[in-house]
Amino acid sequence: MDERSRGRVRVERGAKRVRAVFPGKVVADTTRPLLVWEVPYYPMYYIPRADVDTELIVPTGRTRHSPSRGDGLLSSLRVGDREAVDAVTEYPDSPLEELREAVRLDWDAMDAWFEEDEEVYTHPRDPHTRVDILPSSRHVRIEVNGVTVAESHSPRLLFETGLPTRYYLPKTDVRLELLEPSDKVTHCPYKGQAEYWSVRAGDELVPDLAWSYRMPLPESERIAGLVCFTDELVDVYVDGELQERPKTKFA
């Protein structure tokens, strides 16, 4: 795989077929996408201009500057009576040579993205991220404000590249009477859609502290229906030993 770095931005040539849909129309279809790490946590797709339906691109005359990518020319994407304003960015004079003939489509402005024939959510999958989910007999206990809210001898441990170990516990090992449903929903390109609960510990209701994937993506089926707590905000004991709270972008 061709990989190049320019300062703080990494650029790789991907191997998957990637398609963007807006609205109901395939506006980009490529087997040679670029993966661009605009932020350290995950990449964004840039599509070769030849693989984008450029007749749908309407320049706005506006620009957006990036210290690493240069001056981006903004355009809208128009299909029938639908328009995604400033959803297209091009860097024809970028110091990153690979980007000069590429088009960046705003991820959230599109109706859907596909890697091969599977829809992908939130952001492109990082080819360097691995998710392993393993059954364990380790004793895991979760405490919130001194209150034990979950305790299990049969957790599933989820190891995801760049993130702390996550402990997924059977609902039968969670004090469900302390959990109150939350309106929060998040999406993960590796695991799927998560629903959340707030946790009542004593007189305090701690918001959005626990989550579960009711119907995870196939590669993460082992955590279906299990409950995980935000390690960054709770006390986790593993085999009786208090774990150090991790520091991540999530808390």
Two tokens at 225? 């229906």
Tell me the average pLDDT of the chain.
Answer: 94
Identify whether 164 is part of a domain: yes
As a dihedral over the C-alpha atoms of residue 125, residue 128, residue 134, residue 138, rounded to 10 degrees, the angle is -120
**Residues 176 and 200 grouped into a single domain:** yes
pLDDT of residue 5 exceeding 50, the answer is: no
The domain in which residue 28 lies consists of: 3-119
Given this model, what pLDDT does residue 55 score?
A: 97
Identify whether 248 is part of a domain: no
CATH number for position 210 = 2.170.150.40
**Residues 110 and 158 grouped into a single domain:** no
Task: Indicate the DSSP class of residue 17.
Answer: -
Identify whether 126 is part of a domain: no
Identify whether 250 is part of a domain: no
CB atoms within 10 A of CB 134: 11
**Residues 113 and 29 grouped into a single domain:** yes
Given this model, what pLDDT does residue 229 score?
A: 98
Whether 60 contacts 85, CB under 8 Å: yes
Q: Which of 7-21, 49-63, 175-189 has the lowest mean pLDDT?
A: 7-21
**Residues 18 and 54 grouped into a single domain:** yes
Identify whether 103 is part of a domain: yes
Given this model, what pLDDT does residue 131 score?
A: 96
CB atoms within 10 A of CB 19: 21
**Residues 20 and 53 grouped into a single domain:** yes
| Stated pTM of the model | 0.85
CA distances from 48 to 13, 34, 51, 109, 208 (A): 11, 8, 5, 18, 40
Span 51-70, mean pLDDT?
A: 96
Cβ neighbours of residue 129 under 8 Å, at least 6 residues apart?
42, 160, 161, 162, 190
Pairwise CA distance, residues 147 & 183, whole Å: 24
At 89-148, the pLDDT tens digits run 999 999 999 999 999 999 999 999 999 999 999 999 999 999 999 999 999 999 999 999
Identify whether 125 is part of a domain: no
**Residues 13 and 110 grouped into a single domain:** yes
How many structural domains compose the chain? 2
Last residue of a domain, one of 61, 92, 119: 119
**Listed residue (58, 51, 155) closest to 102, CA to CA:** 51
Last residue of a domain, one of 96, 119, 142: 119
At 167-204, the pLDDT tens digits run 999 999 999 999 999 999 999 999 999 999 999 998 89
Give the percent of the chain with pLDDT over 90: 92
Give the percent of the chain with pLDDT over 70: 96
CA distances from 166 to 157, 169, 236 (A): 6, 10, 10
**Residues 112 and 144 grouped into a single domain:** no
Given this model, what pLDDT does residue 248 score?
A: 85
CA distances from 115 to 32, 47, 123, 202 (A): 12, 13, 11, 46
At 69-90, the pLDDT tens digits run 999 999 999 999 999 999 999 9
Provide Rg for the chain, Cα atoms: 21
CB atoms within 10 A of CB 222: 16
Given this model, what pLDDT does residue 96 score?
A: 96
Given this model, what pLDDT does residue 249 score?
A: 78
Pairwise CA distance, residues 175 & 2, whole Å: 49
CA distances from 90 to 51, 87, 94, 121, 234 (A): 14, 10, 9, 23, 43
